[in-house]
Amino acid sequence: MATLTEKPPLEGADVAQKSSTNTTGSDVEKTGGHTPPGDSHPAYLNPAVMDDWYEGKPTEEELATLRRVPGNVPIIAYLICIVEFCERASYYGVQPLISNYVNRSLPRGGNGWGAPPNTPGDQQTGGALGLGTVVANAVTQSFSMLAYALPLFFGWLADAKWGRFKVICWGVGVFGVAHVLMVAAGSKNLLANGTAKAPYFLSVYILAFGAAMFKPNISPLLLDQVTNTVPTVITLANGERVIQDPESTTERVMLWFYLLINVGGFMGVATAYSEKYVGWWLAFLIPLILYLPLPLLLWFLYKRLILHPPGGSDLPNVFRILGICFRRGGIRMIGRHGFWENAKPSNIRAAGLEGVYKTRWNDQFVDDVRRTFQATGIFCFFPIQYINDNGIGAAASFLSTMLESNGVPNDVISNINPLSIIIFAPILNYGLYPALRKAGIHYGPIARITTGLLMSSCAGAGYAILNHYAYEQSPCGEYGSSDCQIGSGVAPITIWYMVLPYAIGGISELFVNVPAYGIAYSRAPVNMRGLVSAINLFNTAIAYIIGLACSSVITDPHLTWDFGGPAIAGGILAVVFYFTFRHIDKEEYVLQTGGASKDAQVDMAGTRNIVGENETNKSTNRPAPIADNEEMMISQKQ
């Protein structure tokens, strides 16, 4: 077990070229520039171990013929999954409520705690501040943007300065402060006299910071606990010889991890009903109660965890390389031959610019960055998928306020999204995909992603059609989401019609996210997994930035086109995506049918044969051991 005493951090790959700009990656690794004393890389990322003999090492024939099974998962890993459940449950218990709290006023005839009157036929939703749809959208989008943009900083802080566990603990502490302030914002007196704004807005943005500390560090910490790191031939009790496979072990752990993320997302159901029938105080108290086990769990886990000390981060050097490429080549060189060559130490030295540009990396590191951006180019198409999946900004929430709920909280309907993922993941994994393979039909990752992009566009179109009829039949016409007080205040259309676009959007994630990250992690160099995560986070943040920038038009009477515009754009971009990247399907097919080599095989779990090195992600460079397990963010819900 790695020591818990944290060593002085090193500055990423800065040590890589102290003596010579021609230092090779293997020389860097020999110097231990990235590896603090007493720490080490797992065996599956150490070619010296994987190429050498060890007891139980499978032969080429055994690798090609024996069934692969997961190894034993340590109890400590399941406890970390429970930690993730508590954090996600407390987060998603709050997040869906933001729109109603900010948008709607206290209901007429309500109980004063924010709940509408419990009388037959009353269609009001919970409310508090009454600031309208524009402000509500701005708050929800800025909250989510911070939760997805700030992990870039806090991931670097963990790798380079503090270590993962310390950042997680600080994040949990910040979370606690946010939840206490939020419970205070549900006070009847504060709601009545209009002074609930200050504690509520403070709590929302403090919560975003806490989530950003927690988000990038928990799944790598989980994978650090998996000690089965080399494929080993074992004999089962029934006499069958199998390969105990680290890839399968990781797959099992991550499936539990993402299952509990989605189960935690269902806490929004409990808080939505509390908001509707009791009031904000209970809706905010439930997430606080779900949060309370976190400090105790972390205290219990501390001395039982495998923890890597901070060893530096390569992200600063990636930004330095980009800066040099832009300064020397300009924006016009992007995508052209020679763009990345400008940052190679050998090129800088040949140009006589050593005094202008200080290089802290080798030529191979620049190639690693180039390969990573090429491998993650597919992520550029994902903001439109995420916008169509959930509706741009908070538009779907505003649509739900225009429909007949008949006692169902309007913000509970969004939970159909994670429910569809839980239901359809095993159907795809154990039904559709095996059936296609059995029939000899190659349904590659690019084809899957294209399917998902088209499905999300269909979801966006579904929102647009439903909103069109809501406007048409609302007593307030095209201003139906603006706290309509004419008649029942809603269109005579049941809110359950929203199940369809929410479900289609959720299922589209299964077709998009898993194969996309499989491609990225199997093709990007193994030392660049932190950069893969950073690029993914950045693209998710872009979707929220777009939603924030459009706040002034995500309101009546524009909601129909707020859904329809992205749906049309998504359909066009899905076609562009397919013809841009379809060559990858052919390459993946060759890899999967090339005899014993099964590198980069992507299945529903998203981790098979991509955790360790393969023919397409090899590199002579290595990050610090703390950054080895940064396969994260397979779902935006993490």
For residues 281-314, b (16+ Cβ closer than 10 Å) or e, as one string?
bbbbbbbbebbebbeebbeebeeebebbbbbbbb
* CA–CA gap between residue 143 and residue 131 (Å, rounded): 16
Pairing of strands 68-69, 241-244: parallel
Question: 314 near 235, Cβ under 8 Å?
Answer: no
Is residue 57 predicted with pLDDT exceeding 60? yes
pLDDT for 636 equals 47
Both tokens of 53, joined, read: 């003999």
Count how many residues are written for the chain.
638
For residues 124-155, b (16+ Cβ closer than 10 Å) or e, as one string?
bbbbbbebbbbebbbbbbbbbbbbbbbbbebb
pLDDT for 606 equals 36
Of the given ranges (331-345, 469-483, 511-525), which has the lowest mean pLDDT?
Answer: 511-525
pLDDT for 301 equals 92
Output the pTM of the full model: 0.83
pLDDT for 38 equals 65
* CA–CA gap between residue 136 and residue 583 (Å, rounded): 43
Half-sphere exposure in the Cβ direction for 340 (13 Å, CA): 16
Is residue 80 predicted with pLDDT exceeding 50? yes
For residue 232, the SS3 value is strand
- Please state the rounded mean pLDDT for residues 514-525: 76
Pick from 101, 95, 180, 87: which is nearest to 146 by CA? Answer: 95
pLDDT for 34 equals 58
Is residue 252 predicted with pLDDT exceeding 50? yes
Is residue 620 predicted with pLDDT exceeding 80? no
Pick from 316, 379, 376, 369: which is nearest to 342 by CA? Answer: 369
pLDDT for 16 equals 33
* CA–CA gap between residue 308 and residue 629 (Å, rounded): 11
* CA–CA gap between residue 384 and residue 177 (Å, rounded): 34
* CA–CA gap between residue 182 and residue 244 (Å, rounded): 47
Pairing of strands 232-235, 403-404: unpaired
Confidence class of residue 172 from pLDDT cuts 50, 70 and 90?
very high
pLDDT for 10 equals 35
Of the given ranges (44-53, 363-372, 599-608), which has the lowest mean pLDDT?
Answer: 599-608
Is residue 542 predicted with pLDDT exceeding 50? yes
* CA–CA gap between residue 385 and residue 569 (Å, rounded): 10
| 127: DSSP letter | -
Question: 538 near 372, Cβ under 8 Å?
Answer: no
